[in-house]
Structure 1
Amino acid sequence: MLNIKGIIIKNKALIICSSLLFLIGVIAGSFMTPTLIEQNKLIEPNSLSHLFINNLLAILFIASGFFTLGIGTIVFVAINSLTIGLSIKESHYLGKSFFEIFFKIIPHGIFEIPALILSGVIGFKSIMFLIEYMEHSINFKSLLKRYIKEISTLFFIIIVLLFISALIEWYITPRIF
């Protein structure tokens, strides 16, 4: 397994791309109109495991962009980030202050959002794989082995982040307000 600092440094460009895509989606979602908000029926989780599995599925969909050269990643990050922006707008529209919204999202969001961004990194890794393979004429098997090791490490980090996020969202966040 690679160390976290090494992964961050190595994937800096992909982290920036995934972060910008996420941020643009949240901002765009927060500008959606209240008529769209009324149609946004989110399924509320009924247990910690349900919450964790829902988040894990979202992350897997984002990471599956690996198999579509990042196209699926763009689509699924956009959907998730638009939903977050829309939820912020909906909460504010329904009378919650930005302070309340902020403290409802931040405790678990500091773990969940990086997990989402790192899954975007995985989704974009196939593009980097192809570029590296074509530019450097590296042995395919050794390059593939290195990428599998790095993606496995990223998935491990994502799972830990999602688990911590789910614990906080289930046990702590609802009690804040």
Structure 2
Amino acid sequence: MQIFYRLLVFSMFLFLIGAFLGFNLLNTPKSENVPNIFGFYEKQNEIVPNFRFLFINNLKVILILSFGGILTFGGLTIWGLIFNGIPLGLFLHSSWNLRHVGELNSFFFLILPHGIFEIPALIIAGAAGFKIPYELLRFALGKKKEMITEEDAKEFFKLLAISVILIFIAAMVESRVTLKLATYLVEYKLF
């Protein structure tokens, strides 16, 4: 169990590195460009993200973080966690620098409802992606007798299942709450 917490903390650290990079990547965009940057409200070529779209896209991310970590000995997991933290940092940066018009509230309205499920799902999937490579490394260093035990596989799939459940909930909340909030904030020029 202590190993799980280390992998979880490492995954969280990588995600926060991505958020930090995103926060520091760009100069402050103009207020009217914020919705277009994040795709909340585009008139041309508008894709209306629904539950299925959000769930499938996030499921792909979860599978890349977990199984990609196994196939690349954690490389895709590292990249995926950092890459998925960047949009959070970009949005926080934009909201923070436009806070004089209430944009920081928009950050919380548009991230918090589904983010409390989606962000932990990404971090847990990252921990799953590091689990098997970590156990292989322990075997290679002579610190365990079996390469991959049944318990290791069960823990990996348990973490994956938790991530999928959280992503499912996040997609439900994002499609039914967050997108409606975004539309409302843009239509009434509160964003």
The reply to whether TM is greater than 0.5 is yes
TM-score by length of 1: 0.81
Q: C-alpha offsets along residues 40-62 of structure 1, whole Å, 9 cap, x if unaligned? A: 57595532101100111111222
Name the counterpart of 1:46.
49
Q: How does 1:79-90 map to 2 (within 5 A)?
A: 79-90=83-94
Contact kept? 2:96, 2:104, Cα under 8 Å: yes
Q: Which has the higher helix share?
A: 1
Contact kept? 1:34, 1:93, Cα under 8 Å: no
Question: Structure 2 regions of 5+ residues with no counterpart?
Answer: 40-45, 186-191
Moved more, 33-42 or 125-134: 33-42
Highest CA radius of gyration, 1 or 2? 2
Question: Structure 1 regions of 5+ residues with no counterpart?
Answer: 1-5
Which of 101, 107, 124 is 2:107 aligned to? 101
Amino acid at match of 2:85: S
Residues paired across the two proteins, number: 168
Instruction: Determine the C-alpha separation between the residues in 1 that align with 2:64 and 2:127.
Output: 12
TM-score by length of 2: 0.76
Q: How does 1:1-177 map to 2 (within 5 A)?
A: 9-34=2-27, 46-63=49-66, 64-91=68-95, 97-133=103-139, 134-140=141-147, 143-176=148-181, 177=185
Q: C-alpha offsets along residues 116-135 of structure 1, whole Å, 9 cap, x if unaligned? A: 00111122123321233233
Q: Which runs of 4+ in 1 moved over 6 A?
A: 35-39
Q: Secondary structure at the match of 1:135?
A: coil
Note the C-alpha offset of 1:36: 8.9
Q: Secondary structure at the match of 1:11?
A: helix
Task: Using the aligned pairs only, state the percent identity.
Answer: 33
Note the C-alpha offset of 1:136: 3.2
Q: C-alpha offsets along residues 87-123 of structure 1, whole Å, 9 cap, x if unaligned? A: 3334556765112211210111111001000111122
